Structure 1
Amino acid sequence: MTELRPLDSGFMELEDADRHLSLGIGAVAIIAGSPPSRDELTGVLAGGVKQNVRLGQKVRRAPLDLATPVWENDPNFDLAHHIRWTALPAPGDESALCELVATELEERLDRDHPLWQCVVVEHLAGDRWALIVKAHHSLVDGVSGISVFENLCDPVAAGTEKVAPESRVCAAMEWLNYARQGMRLPVVVPRYLIGMVRSLVPLAVAAVSPTAECSLNGPIGRQRRYVVARAALSDVHAIGTAFGATVNDVVLTAIAAAYRDLLRSRNERPTRDKLRILVPVSMRPTEAKYTLDNRVSAMLPFLPIDVADPVERLEMIHGRMSKHKSRGEARAQSSILALAGRVPFAAVAWGIRLMARFPQRSVGALATNVPGPRRELTIRGRKVLELLPAVPIAMRLRTAIAILSYADHLTFGITGDYDTAPDIAVIADGIGREIQRLREHAELRRLPRPGMAGE
């Protein structure tokens, strides 16, 4: 058995606090040709489970949450619980696929079994099929989630399989461990608090300060919408190089422009204090890529949706993100999670439930950027053409955007609340337009100035 990390168990508590939520995150692989047979696919998934034993484990919770939940082997593990086959109606276009993905985002995973599922989607137009891989957010974050999919793909060469390390904790030692942690609290807590307080002040102020009233924040229902935007990763790299910005800066600039378009289409004024966005930051070391858990922190910048010029918007975002990074906000939040691991779990669980009763009004959206595989993948020899990311919405965020790179593709998966965000296609269109505008500005910057030839 292995204890859940504080953030992992926090996602379960968050889901329990709102009957409208399903905190499964997913990746949708669009694959050439026809799907393998059921026996072939079962063999592929069996190999993935063998490479990471966490996929064969379920969560066991203690009575009254007095002890931290643990992952334990499912004695009745059956792959059939985790595989489902479906097909798109004619014409099997992207609209139908997105509708299916939205439906999958609505459905909660069964906690009586390991918290993941694969859905084979047949009859996708263009002689293609799709594989939706979904896992609960308590099991994976973006980086480790993509590693689950990679483990289902054909290896580059023999011996490339990765096996995640799993600690074995004797159940009889659990309560002794909790007692030791409790005895250390008077020493550990002050030490952590002193080290964190300077970095946490800006983050805490941002988290509790309400923004200007905005239609992006508010109650959400159970049903979802899902749309996709695309860009060439090489274009985004070229833009960043031209303006001295990062890929994430360019991505956030495109997202800012898209939300500006969305609010204007809703007859809302895009002011500078209108949209604070949650930007998860991976804290996962390279050696933990294949370990299934959550290792993320976050920053909470305002997006400059009041700025009309694309280049000025990019420069402003670059400056703001650099400032947030220099203040150590992501490291401070990681320290909070480390501290939470030393606090009795009951206090953490009850604290999250209490927090869920006080709706947050300071954040309007989420954008998470996940680096995906740079090489092209295959499954049983079938080429993976695209990878589409899909993330849930929660905590009054009516939209959320996941960005995933794969080979030279950059894909934006946009999730929206069905009733309060029926227009999320405006976001997808806005992202595409902004990247095109920035690419044109980048090309102009690279052109030789008049009089330079022959100098």
Structure 2
Amino acid sequence: MTERLRPRDLALLAAESAATPMHNATVEIFDPGDSGFDHDRLVELIRDRISFVPRYRQRIQSIPGRLANPVWVDDENFDLGYHVRRSALPRPGTLEQLLELVGRIVSRPLDRSRPLWEMYFVEGLEGGQVALLSKSHEVLVDGVDTVDLGQVLLDVGETPKELGGDEWRPGPRVTQGGLLADAVRDSLTQPRTVAATIRSRTGAVLRGTDAAAQRASGVVNALTGRRPSRPYPVTGPLSLQRRVVAVRTELADYRTVRNAHGGTVNDVILATITGALRSWLMTRSESMHGMRQVHAVVPISVIDQELEATSLGSQIAAHFVDLPIGESSPVVRLHQVSYSFQAHKDTGRAVAANRLAGIAGFAPTTFHAIGARVAAAELRRGYQLSVTNVPGPQSPLYAAGARMVATYPVHPLLPGHPLAIGVTSYDGGVYYGLTADRDLLPDAELLATCLREALDELLDTATGARPRVPRGRKKKAPRKATPAP
């Protein structure tokens, strides 16, 4: 039995190019301790649990003549060894070296002739730690039929549960004639199949028209000597390479600010990002061009019967917020961000963070995947930055007995958007993953420093523990966040 791809899935595939690979990634760092967690144990763990995400053994099969949308079929040549790979850093490997490797790996698109995921077991980190880098295409994880593989690999205790795996065998091999017959039958018996195919083709034509219009605009600008408008200082065509930056901070610091000024931890995180963007943009050679706000999309969890239900107990919707980077006061920035979310909270549709964090399994990986899909679907709304903040469990999780000590989301970049920010809270920490275009944002590491300074600035207003530095005097180094493992 095959399942046909939906129009929004095809839209994600159509939007993909060598410069915009549409996959999500997660970097998780583990302390093996005495667990013996290694590459072989990881392969055994995935083999034991992949049956819970059957789409991870399926590939996309197109229909002859494009009479209908492509279908998911079992990969008759599925090879777990191809998807689960082994890598290493020169010992003792640092977090910076790990992220350099991650940036190179996430820059490469996935092979569409195979199931659309990869996982890398990276050895050689300092302190005997190891890392898992997982890549899953956005079309693979929708939260409805498929959750992220990472959600089923982790346990709440050191002793892994033996789930037994399955004796999987691929389904009957599909033939061109069979695919054509299924397409004709579905068109006759399921009118939605015809409608979906028409919508998919219409969407492809519109996307082609948009691309042609953009090329024509570029030619006109070149001939007339005009520069294209740049509503945001960091825009432009993306390169083929990515840079990944990670920042770890303490959840207790955000709670301190929340307790002093009100709002939620999510508000404080967004206010921290706002302050960091303000400082970072002011250091760049090109000024903010009088900008007062950055228009951002922030996917949020809601209860809304009109949206597609997910297996996570809530729906994911886009929320647009103007981050007030032109405001100099950190407290005012926080209040403005809080006010933007207050109307949403008043609707009663909002889902509490502690409810999301209590979902079985490590659901943040799936939430980030859905958030990236939402951001891609809203690209026409003209936002400038996507920020996905997902609360996770505040107790340790384990993979084959190895404790996970850090987790960093790595979001894909959309056309013309050289920066994306993912945030995950887990076990007392708040972990930022910054994905940046390597050429357009060579100073992405500076944004990480600005994040720490922006959080310190908010803490100053909440605790008064560190005195202000008078004008004209040298500023002391900011309080360092807890170093990432």
Report the CA distance between 1:102 and its aligned residue: 0.7
Equivalent residue, structure 1, for 2:3: 2
Report the CA distance between 1:154 and its aligned residue: 3.5
Report the CA distance between 1:365 and its aligned residue: 1.6
Equivalent residue, structure 2, for 1:235: 253
Equivalent residue, structure 2, for 1:75: 76
Q: Does 1:303 align with 2:323?
A: yes
Equivalent residue, structure 1, for 2:239: 221
The one-letter amino acid of 2:84's match is: I
Equivalent residue, structure 1, for 2:338: 318
From 409, 415, 419, give the equivalent of 1:395: 415
Q: Relative to structure 1, is the Cα distance of residues 65 and 430 closer, same or farther in structure 2, using a 3 angstrom cutoff? A: farther
- What is the distance in 1 between the residues matched to 2:249 and 2:236? 30
Q: 1:285-335 CA deviation, whole Å, 9 max, x = no partner?
A: 9994469xx9643223221000111110000011123346779999xxxxx
Equivalent residue, structure 2, for 1:260: 278
- What is the distance in 2 between the residues matched to 1:369 and 1:393? 16
Residues 4, 71 of structure 2: 8 Å contact kept: yes
Q: Relative to structure 1, is the Cα distance of residues 287 and 380 closer, same or farther in structure 2, using a 3 angstrom cutoff? A: farther
The one-letter amino acid of 1:363's match is: Y
Q: Does 1:376 align with 2:396?
A: yes
* Identical pairs, percent: 31
From 275, 299, 303, give the equivalent of 2:294: 275
Report the CA distance between 1:67 and its aligned residue: 2.4
Q: Relative to structure 1, is the Cα distance of residues 177 and 114 closer, same or farther in structure 2, using a 3 angstrom cutoff? A: farther
Equivalent residue, structure 2, for 1:48: 49
- What is the distance in 1 between the residues matched to 2:73 and 2:430? 36
- What is the distance in 1 between the residues matched to 2:281 and 2:137? 31
The one-letter amino acid of 2:56's match is: L
Equivalent residue, structure 2, for 1:153: 154
Instruction: Give the secondary-structure state (helix, strand or coil) at the position aligned to 2:231.
Output: coil
Report the CA distance between 1:439 and its aligned residue: 2.5
Residues 51, 161 of structure 1: 8 Å contact kept: no
Bigger drift between 373-382 and 131-140 goes to: 373-382
- What is the distance in 2 between the residues matched to 1:139 and 1:175? 24
So what's the TM-score if we normalise by structure 2?
0.70
Report the CA distance between 1:63 and its aligned residue: 4.0
Equivalent residue, structure 1, for 2:28: 29
Q: Relative to structure 1, is the Cα distance of residues 275 and 442 closer, same or farther in structure 2, using a 3 angstrom cutoff? A: same
Bigger drift between 66-75 and 154-163 goes to: 154-163
- What is the distance in 2 between the residues matched to 1:119 and 1:382? 16
- Number of residue pairs aligned between Structure 1 and Structure 2: 387
- What is the distance in 1 between the residues matched to 2:274 and 2:249? 16
- What is the distance in 1 between the residues matched to 2:146 and 2:269? 21
Report the CA distance between 1:372 and its aligned residue: 2.6
Instruction: Give the secondary-structure state (helix, strand or coil) at the position aligned to 1:126.
Output: helix
Equivalent residue, structure 2, for 1:179: 191
Q: Relative to structure 1, is the Cα distance of residues 128 and 284 closer, same or farther in structure 2, using a 3 angstrom cutoff? A: farther
| Structural RMSD (CA) | 3.9
Residues 59, 112 of structure 2: 8 Å contact kept: yes
- What is the distance in 2 between the residues matched to 1:211 and 1:325? 36
- What is the distance in 1 between the residues matched to 2:163 and 2:41? 18
Residues 408, 424 of structure 2: 8 Å contact kept: yes
Q: 1:83-128 CA deviation, whole Å, 9 max, x = no partner?
A: 1111112441111011011112101111111111110101011111
Residues 270, 305 of structure 1: 8 Å contact kept: no
The one-letter amino acid of 2:191's match is: A
The one-letter amino acid of 1:224's match is: R
- What is the distance in 1 between the residues matched to 2:408 and 2:312? 20
Instruction: Give the secondary-structure state (helix, strand or coil) at the position aligned to 2:412.
Output: coil
Instruction: Give the secondary-structure state (helix, strand or coil) at the position aligned to 2:425.
Output: strand
Report the CA distance between 1:235 and its aligned residue: 2.3
Q: Relative to structure 1, is the Cα distance of residues 329 and 379 closer, same or farther in structure 2, using a 3 angstrom cutoff? A: closer
Query: Which runs of 5 or more residues in structure 1 are unaligned?
Result: 185-209, 331-354, 446-455
Report the CA distance between 1:146 and its aligned residue: 7.9
Bigger drift between 368-377 and 33-42 goes to: 33-42
The one-letter amino acid of 2:77's match is: N
The one-letter amino acid of 2:294's match is: L
Residues 147, 289 of structure 1: 8 Å contact kept: no
The one-letter amino acid of 2:322's match is: F
Query: Which runs of 5 or more residues in structure 2 are unaligned?
Result: 166-170, 172-180, 197-227, 351-375, 466-485
Q: Relative to structure 1, is the Cα distance of residues 298 and 229 closer, same or farther in structure 2, using a 3 angstrom cutoff? A: same
Report the CA distance between 1:264 and its aligned residue: 0.4
- What is the distance in 1 between the residues matched to 2:113 and 2:273? 38
Bigger drift between 141-150 and 405-414 goes to: 141-150
Equivalent residue, structure 2, for 1:340: none
- What is the distance in 1 between the residues matched to 2:55 and 2:342? 36
Equivalent residue, structure 2, for 1:436: 456
Report the CA distance between 1:428 and its aligned residue: 1.1
Equivalent residue, structure 1, for 2:262: 244
- What is the distance in 2 between the residues matched to 1:145 and 1:89? 36
Q: Relative to structure 1, is the Cα distance of residues 153 and 174 closer, same or farther in structure 2, using a 3 angstrom cutoff? A: same
So what's the TM-score if we normalise by structure 1?
0.74
Q: Relative to structure 1, is the Cα distance of residues 214 and 3 closer, same or farther in structure 2, using a 3 angstrom cutoff? A: same
- What is the distance in 2 between the residues matched to 1:175 and 1:400? 40
Report the CA distance between 1:159 and its aligned residue: 7.5
Q: Relative to structure 1, is the Cα distance of residues 182 and 66 closer, same or farther in structure 2, using a 3 angstrom cutoff? A: closer
The one-letter amino acid of 2:186's match is: E
